[in-house]
Structure 1
Amino acid sequence: MIYWRKVLLSITAIACLWTAMVASVARADVMYPTYTRDNFDNVIFTQPAYTPLRMLGNDLTMPDPEQSDLIVSSPLQGPKDVFVDSRDHIYIADTGNSRIVHYDENYDFVRYIQPQESPFSSPEGVFVDEQGYIYVADTGNRRVVILDPEGYPIREIGRPESRFIPKDFKYDPIKLVADRRGFLYVVTLGGYRGLLQLDPEGGFQSFFGANKTPFSVLDAMKRALYTREMYENEISKLPGAISNVAVGPDGFIYTATSGGDVSHSQVKRLNYEGRNLLVNSEESTSGKSGGSLTFGESLISAYSAEGEKVQTQIVDLTVDPYGNISVIDRQYNYVNQYDAYGNLLFFWGGRSSPTSTQLGLIKNPVAIDVNSRNELFVLDDQENVLQVFELSEFGKLVYQANELTNQGFYAESEPYWKQVLDLNAQFGPAIHGLAKAAYQRGDYETAKELFRRGGNQVGFSDAFWQLRLQWFQERFSLFATLFLVLCCFYLIGSRYLNRLPWSAKRKRDKKSRNKVVEQLSHALYMLKHPIDGFTALRFENKGGYVGAIVILLGMYVSLLVYRIYTSFVFNKIEENAISAVTIFIQFAVIWIVWVVCNYLISSIYRGEGRFRDVFIGSAYSLIPFVLFAIPLTIISNGMTLSEQAIYQYLFYGLIVWVGAMFFWQVQALQNYGVGETVVNILLSLFAMLVMAVLAFIIVGLTNELRMFIYEVYQEVTLR
């Protein structure tokens, strides 16, 4: 018995060692890291979602044109598009060689499609419908060519004629798809008007799915201030041009937009009206709804070294049979994967060596597609290869769990999500999936904590609403009884209240009060009579430094409590992400800079207040926040998103109240009129901005000087 137990343990140990070796080899084969991002915008490392499988296109051959019995190498040259049809056959638009390359589902070469009677010229797009008809965007010839399954041309579509097409419209087709009705959607080079929608006969129908022209605050100011002649001299602002198009398994048309000023909705799912359906919804893990989505991930700053904003360049997308969307970003060379609702699943990739072609690494991605086995095909027009990736075991687990969640089978998805979370405890989609499963089975407390952990404010609010409802229902009889008892006590006891001795209270009122207490009592008086109260600070010395410092400490405590303990419904922060020291430094710096700048501006701008008055008056102006921020924080923890309007009304009302106190403080202490007060405050804010810029410059120069001294020291010591 002992012998067999030892044998069994040995076999188990060998199996574990073999599994670890296989896993290490698999990880070693992946030349790039894989990431995801949580709803707090933190980048999370994950196991690889896809692993590189093979490369296609670099070993192509063809008969020598001069000696047909010889075979010469004919690799891809500057390919621009790849398409996988319903049979998993692969078609590549080999632009540099002016041909279409056809592979079968097993990656075996089938044929070159090169019609001899009407040769292609730099084709940049290819599409194959369910019947096997091949559509080619023959860019060099400015036409669309339709071929039968055997590769023989049956129709050409040139520039469509319509009075709705401007005369200056350039017809350079670069990408295309056809829907189930046979309608064509053609992407034209620089086509900011949208897709060119053509009927099955090639007739013009409309411009479809155009992007909106970005309109900033600066544009609004220009429109308001510029004359007509000045505005006409401005450079025309055009919407971002669509860079690629795909048709999903759901029949919707998907578009990708790159370049321009497009920072949201770079990927769209368009219905038959051309309206984008890919927006934040209740199924979004972001916890928001109704807004536009952002696509394209990066690990580095969104600004270049010159300070210019760097936009992602979404050049192509594909939709797998489950509705998951994979897009490629040429700016950062990442493959970004999102689920059917636009929630990020993974992003991964990396540049290959400048001197060699490496499996899995991409230099310049231009096209992407997916087959029925969820294998991804990424086309690289610099390496002239088609990279093939297969779904990893971790990726399969995530896809399976996410598909069940998106279909509403939350209980069935729970075991899979638990496995994912065991492998990666920070994987956001797994946390969100488990939260939905807990919510469905009525475990609202667990759901609430998971939604908070996953950064989903909508889910957190819904779970809390259910808990609040249950809590109130269980205690309704107690509250009703307590209310009746209090009413009876009030009706019966009010008759005897007037008989109680109040002499003790009168004696206490006559006693002299502490000076600090008097200063704080004056702060309360200012809530009702702000102008008189600030005037009394200046001429009657009703306030003092001690009282001001006490109020400032109260402001710091109130600010700290508000930042940390406001309900997650209205304050999306990570647990333990708030630093008390950081809040103190920020508050102290802003406060001191305001007092100094306001005093200096007041001294120059005919002000009468002393530094003492500005310091004390500015502190007293904060009393509304000191008194009401903590009660508002407590109230927020009993509210849901249904009461968001009430919370925002109270919060912004408190901010406006504090702002009004500062206005009245400057007006009363400096003896200004309304117009002079406005000018003083604006100049003070401008002075604060100047001081911030100067501080930034000084810190930067100090750091440069420190580095210079350190380098000189190293140079001297090394020699």
Structure 2
Amino acid sequence: MKLRSSRRVLTLLFLTLTAAALVPLSAYAEVPYWTNSKDKQGRLVWTQPAYTPEGMFGKDLTIPDPDNPGTAKSSPLQNPKDVFIDKRDHIFVADTGNNRIVEFGPEGAFIRIIAPERDSPGGSFNKPEGVFVTDDFDLYVADTGNKRIVRMDKDGNYIREYKRPDSKYMPESFKFDPTRLVVDKRGFLYIAVLGGYQGLLQLDPQGNFQSFYGANKTVFSPLDAMKRLLYPKKMYANEISKLPGAIRSVAVDHDGFLYTTTAGKDIKSEQIKKLSIKGLNMLESKTFGEVRQSDLKFAAGGSVAPQLIDIAIDSNGNMTAIDSSYNYINQYDANGNLLFFWAGPSSPNTIQLGSMKNPVAVDANSRNDLILLDGQEGVLQLFRLSEFGDKVNAANKLTLQGRYEESERHWREVLRLNANYSPAILGLAKAAYKQGNYKEALELFKRGDDHKGYSDTFWQIRLQWFQSHFSVVATCMAAAIISLLLFERATRRTAWRQAWNNRTRSNNEFVVKLKHMFYMLKHPIDGFTALRYEHKGGYRSAVILLIIAYAALVVMKLFTGFSFNMDDANSVNLLSLLLQYGAVWFGWVVSNYLVSSIYRGEGRFKDVFVGNAYALIPFILIGIPLAAVSNVLTMSEQTIYDFMEKALYVWTGLMVFWKIQSLQNYSVGETIINVLLSLLTFLALAVLALVVLGLSSDLKDFIHEVYQEVRLR
């Protein structure tokens, strides 16, 4: 009986574990795409779906047939370009191919078509690409083909039009081809025009020009900078002008802040901008546009940067942007932190709910559900906020409002559902910090890779420790100093003290060569000269120093305090680090020796080898203490850490400079030339090594394919 009971328990346990393991799979099976987030290190995190596709409409749109009363005819959307949801959750689509605006209900039920006749007061539309509805339900249409903005009342009656304003502040070359627009609560228009690199065109309610707003910066590549430096003025004037990227879309949130997206092959930063009153980007420090590494490998034409072409802002301030390169939907919170990204290319032959062939526009309704517009298929898809997405939104909203204690319960529920979700970890860390639970906050900030939060928490822990132990530490330090002074005075004339002072120094050659490095710290030029002419250094001592320097590098990589160590210690590969360290150091030795032997140098290869090893002494002396000190510093003492780190590299660089000058018998000017030539030689060797490795890999693949062909036949 006991045996049967045990078997039943084991069987029940097995079934329970199997069911638990299958829960995420069933959650993922509900949608035809993966949903992801990323941690602070940029590593991919799989999550439950934040949104689930609920419906599709627009493809089978039918309208009353004027020629046959009582019947309907098919009138699908053709090449639609924009979608907007008003405060009633009515959905408006700029049906560009049909020269009309189509209105749907909150769930996608057709309501009406707005398509003025040619002989109506405002005339007909011509390829409208943008639509906006105010809180008073006035309708603004970017009538692109007619080069105007049309304003209508809620019944579709023409009110007025806005054409290219006549202003001396506008360049004559400016073309008014409006594509997207928003209207603020004052009635001011902000218009994105086709190819308008000057920024958004701002008009007052009467259509008068006010300014260009939120213009992008011109992107200069290193090649452009080199051309500008080297080309004569006439030759540089013939180059194609570098212009800022043109704004693709614009949106406005409930607080009146404007958001823009900019896409282009040269645009890799500031693709999303949140504009201040002065038109400055409030999200300048953030990067947008997510991609999976697996998709980069299969991208057409090689690696392609994300291109964000449209944006929507929901009631929580979350930003949802469309990436036209990979058909991803990216969602960020109000501070620009990534929440989710999902979707991807769909089947070329069929329309599948949840997959988009060519997403061109997005907007959010009052429930924070998303409406996505597929321009190729002419359909709209409703994406409903999932339970997991709703929990994340509720928790994140409280965190952004500074209500950390209230957000804790929500974040714990999110973390229960997904233990690797980075925003939940950081949300709990902030809650623990606010409640004074610094030990837990420290662990959570470290787990969430938040160096700033970790540093602030450690500062509080350190402060509490000093407040509790200051008297003990001060007493011990004072006692130690007094004891040392008394010991010095009491033992000054004792026999063993005299014997210690008169001890015989070691004459071992190897020990002498190692101790020579301390002399070099005070007299570097004489010390390097002694390496050659007095034989104060050798291969064995140099190898020992190289090993110690590598150990210092390992210590810095693994044991630098988390506040200053941006590398993940768990991902450090010591063998790879050794190979990189050895390749760089030995490549520099070879490059420097080759240049010196040609450029009137007097040093032998042994001198260059040994000298470069001894030049690493500052790296050893500062690197390890710096790693140790970093564990008791916070970012408030960043200047101390930066000073010591820069001193390490500057001192090492000076040692290399003095080594070349001393061993090769150069003047200062000749040493500078030698260093520059050695760097160029090192770069040439690096490129050659990469080419050889690439050819070797291709040759290996070729041999393997030939072998497989012969074996299979």
Residue equivalent to 1:600: 594
Match of 1:28 in 2: 29
User: What corresponds to 2:3 in structure 1?
Assistant: none
What corresponds to 1:336 in structure 2? 330
1:445 counterpart letter in structure 2: K
The one of 288, 303, 310 equivalent to 1:295 is 288
Deviates more, 1:642-651 or 1:223-232: 223-232
Would the aligned equivalents of 2:557 and 2:569 in 1 still touch at CA under 8 Å?
no
- Match of 2:190, SS state, is strand
2:565 maps to which of 568, 571, 579: 571
What is the root-mean-square deviation in Å for CA atoms of aligned residues?
2.4
Q: CA deviation at 1:718?
A: 3.0
2:499 to 501, 504, 507: 504
Shift in CA distance, 387/16, structure 1 to aligned 2, threshold 3 Å: farther
The structure 2 residue matched to 1:457, chosen from 444, 451, 474, is: 451
* Corresponding residue number in structure 2 for 1:261: 266
Q: Which region of structure 1 is more displaced relative to structure 2, 308-317 or 104-113? A: 308-317
Partner of 1:107: 108
Q: CA deviation digits over 1:431-490, x for unaligned, max 9? A: 100100110111112111111111111101000000110111111111222344345446
Cross-structure match for 2:551: 557
Q: Does 1:249 align with 2:244?
A: no
Match of 2:582 among 578, 582, 588: 588
1:372/1:518 Cα in 2 relative to 1: closer, same or farther (>3 Å)?
same
Report the equivalent of 1:170. Answer: 175
Q: TM-score, normalised by structure 1?
A: 0.92
Return closer, same or farther for 1:229/1:309 CA change in 2, 3 Å cut-off. Answer: farther
1:23–1:456 CA distance, 2 compared to 1 (3 A) = closer
Match of 1:7 in 2: none
The Cα offsets for residues 102-126 of structure 1, whole Å up to 9 and x where unpaired, read as: 0112321100001121111110000
For the pair 1:159 / 2:164, whether they are aligned, the reply is yes
1:406-445 pair list within 5 angstroms:
406-445=400-439
1:276-328 residue CA offsets vs partner (Å, 9 max, x unmatched): 2234xxxxxxxxxxxx2111111138799899873321111011001111111
Against the structure 1 CA distance between its residues 483 and 613, is the aligned structure 2 distance closer, same or farther, given a 3 Å change threshold?
same
- The share of aligned pairs that are identical, in percent, is 54
Contact 1:184–1:198 (Cα < 8 Å) also in 2:
yes
* 1:662 Cα offset (Å): 0.7
Once the two structures are TM-superposed, the CA of residue 701 in structure 1 deviates from its matched residue by 1.5
TM normalised by structure 2 equals 0.93
| SS of match in other structure, 1:52 | strand
Equivalent pair of 1:121/1:141 in contact (CA under 8 Å): yes
The answer to whether the 8 A contact 2:257-2:275 is kept is yes
Please, which of 319, 324, 328 is the counterpart of residue 325 of structure 1?
A: 319
- Output one character per residue of 1:147-177: Cα deviation in whole Å (capped at 9) or x when no partner: 1100111111111111111111100011111
Residue 334 of structure 2 aligns with an amino acid whose one-letter code is: A
Quick one: structure 1 residues 587 and 23, their matched pair in 2 at CA, closer, same or farther if it must change by over 3 Å?
Answer: closer
Moved more, 248-257 or 594-603: 594-603
In 2: Cα distance, 1:57 partner to 1:359 partner = 13
Cα drift, residue 265 of structure 1: 1.8
In the other structure, the counterpart of 1:71 is: 72
Letter of the aligned partner of 1:264 in structure 2?
S
Superposition pairs of residues 278-317 of structure 1, within 5 angstroms: 278-279=283-284, 292-300=285-293, 310-317=304-311
Three-state SS of the structure 2 residue aligned to 1:541 is coil
Alignment partner of 2:502: what SS?
helix
Extract unaligned runs of 5+ from structure 1: 1-12, 280-291
Compared with structure 1, are the counterparts of its residues 497 and 215 closer, same or farther at alpha carbon in structure 2 (3 Å cutoff)?
A: farther
Pairing of 1:131-170 with structure 2 (within 5 A)? 131-170=136-175
Name 2:5's counterpart in structure 1: none
**CA-CA distance at 1:524 after TM superposition:** 0.9
Q: Is the 8 A contact 1:244 1:255 kept in 2?
A: yes
Distance in 1, matches of 2:534 and 2:19, equals: 86
The 2-side partners of 1:165 and 1:50 are apart by 44
SS at 1:478's partner residue? Answer: helix
Deviation at 1:218, TM superposition (A): 4.4
Q: SS of the residue aligned with 1:576?
A: helix
1:656 equivalenced with 2:657 (yes/no)? no
The residue correspondences of 1:469-508 to structure 2 (distance < 5 A) are 469-486=463-480, 488-489=482-483, 496=490, 498-501=492-495, 502-508=497-503
Shift of 1:65: 5.6
Equivalence for 2:682: 688
- Shift in Å, 1:583: 1.5
Look up the match of 2:93: 92
CA offsets, 1:336-374, max 9 Å, x none?
A: 000010000000011111111111101111110000111
SS in 1 for 2:695: helix
- Which range is displaced more, 567-576 or 173-182? 567-576
Deviation at 1:609, TM superposition (A): 1.1
Q: Which region of structure 1 is more displaced relative to structure 2, 30-39 or 270-279? A: 270-279
Q: Deviations over 1:508-527 (max 9, x none)?
A: 2x344322210111111001
What is the letter of the counterpart of residue 96 of structure 1? G
How many angstroms does 1:83 deviate by?
0.2
Taking structure 1 as reference, are residues 610 and 22 closer, same or farther at Cα in structure 2, changes over 3 Å only?
closer
Task: Rate the CA distance shift 1:559–1:252 in 2: closer, same or farther, 3 A.
Answer: same
AA of the residue aligned to 1:323: G
1:494 positional shift: 5.9
Tell me the equivalent position of 1:643.
637
Q: Structure 1 residue 30: deviation in Å?
A: 0.4
CA distance in 2, matches of 1:632, 1:408: 36
1:632 Cα offset (Å): 1.1
2:194 pairs, out of 189, 196, 219, with: 189
Aligned length: 694
Equivalent position amino acid for 2:46 in 1? F
Q: Is the 8 A contact 1:335 1:349 kept in 2?
A: yes
Contact 1:325 1:337 survives alignment (8 Å): yes
Q: Distance in 2 between matches of 1:445 and 1:400?
A: 26
Structure 2 letter corresponding to 1:540:
E
**Contact 1:259/1:312 (<8 A) preserved:** no
Cα pair distance change 1:375/1:500, threshold 3 Å: same
Find the aligned partners of 1:215 and 1:303 in 2 and give their Cα distance. Answer: 27
